[in-house]
Every structure is written in structure tokens, then in C-alpha cells.
A = this chain, B = another copy of it.
């Protein structure tokens, strides 16, 4: 434990990754990814009946309607950080049920398993003072975009894309402060054709986003310590429904998948393919993202994946855990809670769900 011992980090040097190794590793990572996606695909029909059974339990009288509130209240930081206190108030009062489906996979286990559908069921009428919608459905499609850049190199992007979904806010209740409406307005105007960047709705949305960012920056400056959990961009969780991602059509994606599959078949066969010996394959940042400036929830893909893989999958564990937190809290006083907070700050990198003891 002498201070003179070198850490592992100091023992490695940092040239660039050896070129021959990089190519072999990239190919093998593709092989791993394909096995992983295939496993996810096969898991869908196995898990669907269990999630249905879970839904019956969640909505049985014993559970007293607070299943998802308890789950969200125990959510890990990577999800919790997107839920502002006002969002929590709305979810706590109005959320009735949540369903996540890998909806592009059929009963036989065929289809893209990374596409996701989120169905949020809410209270109606006077029991929901916030908005008129009794159900909000947000679909994310896994799409691929292979293009040649101007320098002739291949550029590959893949990820989740979606359409903005409107929420019919009751008077003065829009916690996105018009952001979500502006995103929906633009999307609807685009459907009539033409260059989106010339639409008045484009200008309106870009301006609204800039205003929201300025406001978030100002709040950040107010409060150095940042004690309260605040969404990274200071934007409401409900702006999640406005996420779009890249502008990749279903048709373009199908072509790209086909092209990549054929390319991959050749590589697996040991055949030579174009661009496989490029010094470095162009990554997605060379691709133009037309929609970047009109994105009201830039972390939409990350949050969608976190909710699907973590919150949804482990919901029963979080539910059970929410009772333990109560036990812990009732035995603690405020000083102890503060000490717990500090301890948690030290345990960085811990992937376990955290006990929340903040207000």
C-alpha cells in the first residue's frame, strides 16, 4: 500500500489502438452485438406472458394502485435525474399504469427487438387536474442510416427515432412551458411537405429551446450546490414525449440494414469489402443531423432504454424496495439522512438502485 506503487492507469501508455487489432476487434464486436440482439429478440416471447401476469398483479386490489409511483420513487439516478419535483407531483397524482413493449417482435420472436413502445395510462376528469389525455403512447423505432460522406467514406448511425406526441394540458398546467406543443406543431407542419427549416414553426421551436436553455443556465448559477435533483437540461420529464432523434425513414433504414447485412455476410466469409481498411471509419458525427437544433429532449434515447431495461424490467424489485426505504426512513432522523446523502455521494459508480432521502 506504499504510495510509490504505480496505479494501473500509469502503467499503460496511450498511443493509438493498434490498427490490425482495431479492425479485428470491430468485427468481433459486431459478432457479439448480433448474438446479443438475437438473444433479446428470442427473450421477448418468453417474457411477454410474465409481464402480462405482472400487470394483473399490479392492477389487483391488493396493490392499492400505487405500484408505479413506488417504482418511480425508487428509480435509479439515471432515471430519477430526469424527473423534476413538478413531474413527480403529476406522476404521483395521475399515473395509473405503465406498459413497455418491444412491439416490433412478433409471437415467433422475429422483428427488431430494440424498438420500444411506452404506454402511460392516466387518471381522467377531475382526478387529473393536469391534462386531458387518459393515455399517452410514445413509440421509438430502432433505425439504421448508412451514407457515404462527401469524402466517399462510409458513415453509419443507428439508434432510436420517434415522433412528438401532444399532451392536451389543462389551463396553466403545461410543465414543458410550450416546448412540447412547439415540437408537435413543427412535426405536424412538416407533414405537409417543404423544407422544414423554412417553416415558421421551426423558428418558433428553436427560439423556445434557446429560452429554456438560458433559463436552466440561470437556475444553475443560482444554486452552486445543486442539492435538488434537477434534470440535466432543466427540462420537464414530459418533454420526453417530444423526442425525435435523427430523421431516418423506415424505408431508408430497411435499405441500410440490408446493405449492412450483406456487407457483414461478406466480412464473415473473409471477403474484402469497401471501406473496411479505411484508416478510421467515419463515425456518426460526420453525418448531418437535421433535427439536432429542434430536439427538446436530447437524452430521449438514453432515457427510453433506461426505463425499458431497468425500471420496467426490475419494477417488482423496486416496488418491494420502496417499502424497505420506508422502514429505513422511519428509523432515521434528519442528521442521519444528511450523513446518508454524503455517503451516497462517495459511492460513485454504484449501479445499485439508490435509496432516496432527498426532497
Chain A positions near chain B (C-beta within 8 angstroms): 1-3, 5-22, 24-25, 28-29, 31-32, 35, 38-39, 42-43, 46-47, 50, 53-54, 57, 60, 62-64, 66, 69-70, 72-73, 76-78, 80, 83-86, 88-89, 91-93, 226, 316-317, 319-320, 322-323, 325-327, 329-330, 344-351, 354, 356-359
Contact = CB atoms under 8 A, between A and B. Distances in A.
Contact of A348 (B47, B88, B316, B350): B350
Contact of A85 (B1, B66, B92): B1
Nearest to A358: B7
Contacts of A327: 14
Contact of A18 (B3, B42, B62, B350): B62
A352 B16 CA distance: 22
A21 B60 contact: yes
A11 to B, nearest CB: 4
A25 B351 contact: no
A8 B91 contact: yes
B9 A73 contact: yes
B14 A88 contact: no
B14 A325 contact: yes
A24 B320 CA distance: 12
A58 to B, nearest CB: 9
Contact of A63 (B18, B57, B62, B351): B18
A42 B36 CA distance: 12
A12 B322 contact: yes
A67 to B, nearest CB: 9
Given A7-B88, A28-B316, A344-B348, 9 more contacts: A6-B85, A6-B88, A6-B89, A9-B73, A11-B69, A11-B89, A15-B326, A17-B323, A31-B50
B330 A25 contact: no
A86 B16 contact: no
Contacts of A89: 5-6, 11
